[in-house]
Amino acid sequence: MRIILVGPPASGKGTQAKVLCEKFAIPQISTGDMLREAKAKGTKLGKEAAEYMSAGKLVPDSVVIGLIDERLKQDDTKGGFLLDGFPRTVPQADALGKLMADKDIALDAVVQIDVARELLVERAVLRRTDKRTGQIYHLKYNPPPPEAELEHRADDREETVNKRLDQYESMTAALLPYYEGKGLLRRVNGVGKPAEITQRILAVLGKG
Ligand code: AMP
């Protein structure tokens, strides 16, 4: 299974990515995580990327394409993978298409988790993560157990969420029609319980 998972901030993308990767035994490839790791290690690439990331800008296409190129050479991607946060631009999507064609592999689907903007703001503002386990909770819909050590992501505050949603909308404006044109786009209603949404995703992947 080779899929791209697309969804706005607080759409439940992180939760679904985990479940899908476990189910299909495939790695989750997140350029955001890879860049944060490079930044933490203080590599040359990490330092360059950090400037863009802290300014809330996209890292240059050549940088992230290079990262994905290297990552797809690793053995654990042979049985498939789930891309998260990549591609974000049409040139990245084109480069991914070329990389995959060279390996004689193809995407199965681009799954978009669809949630109305008003709901996303409420979700993000009430979202909390347990520092110890990484488990994500929602103060209203999925309350954490008393022993959880809760953390509110700095970028989940309302004004930042609105900015991130604007960015998401301008990013997907070109990317989703690109994949729709290739017949790969599958839209999934992202409102409901996490397990219901997983079922919807599996159904559009023909694995329901
Ligand atoms: P994320 O965790 O996916 O939200 O990514 C965090 C930051 O890393 C983004 O705001 C960008 O600065 C950078 N980044 C991650 N993935 C990409 C990508 N595919 N293209 C460009 N920049 C990216």
Residues 31-46, mean pLDDT to the nearest whole number? 93
Cα pseudo-dihedral 71, 74, 80, 84, rounded to 10 = -20
Residue of 66 and 56 predicted with greater confidence? 66
Is residue 153 annotated as a catalytic residue, yes or no? yes
In this structure, the residue with its CA closest to atom 11 of ligand 1 is 58
Choosing from 58, 92, 129 the residue with most ligand 1 atoms within 8 A of its CB, the one to mutate for a pocket test is: 58
User: Residues 2, 71, 123, 127: which is the catalytic one?
Assistant: 127
For ligand 1, which residues put their CB under 6 angstroms from it? 31-32, 35, 52-53, 57-59, 64, 85-88, 92
Q: Is 127 a catalytic residue?
A: yes
Question: Is 83 strand, coil or helix?
Answer: strand
Active site residue 36: no
Give pLDDT, residue 105: 97
Strands, E assignment, 67-172: 81-84, 109-114, 127-130, 136-138, 150-151
Share of the chain above pLDDT 70, in %: 100
pLDDT tier at 43 (50, 70, 90 boundaries)?
Answer: very high
For residues 14-41, average pLDDT: 95
Taking alpha carbons only, the member of 127, 124, 62 closest to residue 95 is: 62
Q: Which helix (DSSP H) or strand (DSSP E) does residue 189 occupy?
A: strand 185-189
Rounded to an integer, what distance in angstroms lies between the CA atom of residue 198 and that of residue 123? 18
Ligand 1 centroid to 141 CA: how many Å? 28
Closest CA to 127 of 45, 4, 13: 13
Q: 162-188 pLDDT, tens per residue? A: 988 998 999 999 999 999 999 999 999
Rounded to the nearest whole angstrom, what is the distance from the C-alpha of residue 147 to the centroid of ligand 1? 32
157 pLDDT higher than 90? no
9 pLDDT tier (thresholds 50, 70, 90): confident
pLDDT at 54 over 80: yes
Does the model's pTM come out above 0.85? yes
- Give the model's pLDDT for residue 153: 84
Q: How far is the CA of 53 from the centre of ligand 1 (A)?
A: 7
Quick: pLDDT tens for 117-137.
Answer: 999 999 889 999 999 999 989
CATH 3.20.80.10 fits 2-26+79-127+156-204, yes or no: no
> How many angstroms does the Cα of residue 35 sit away from the middle of ligand 1?
8
164 catalytically annotated? yes
Predicted pLDDT of residue 164: 86
Rounded to the nearest integer, the mean pLDDT of the chain is 94
What's the whole-number mean pLDDT along residues 24-35?
A: 96
Task: Please write the tens of the pLDDT for every residue from 76-87.
Answer: 999 999 999 999
The strand pair at 185-189 and 109-114 is best described as parallel
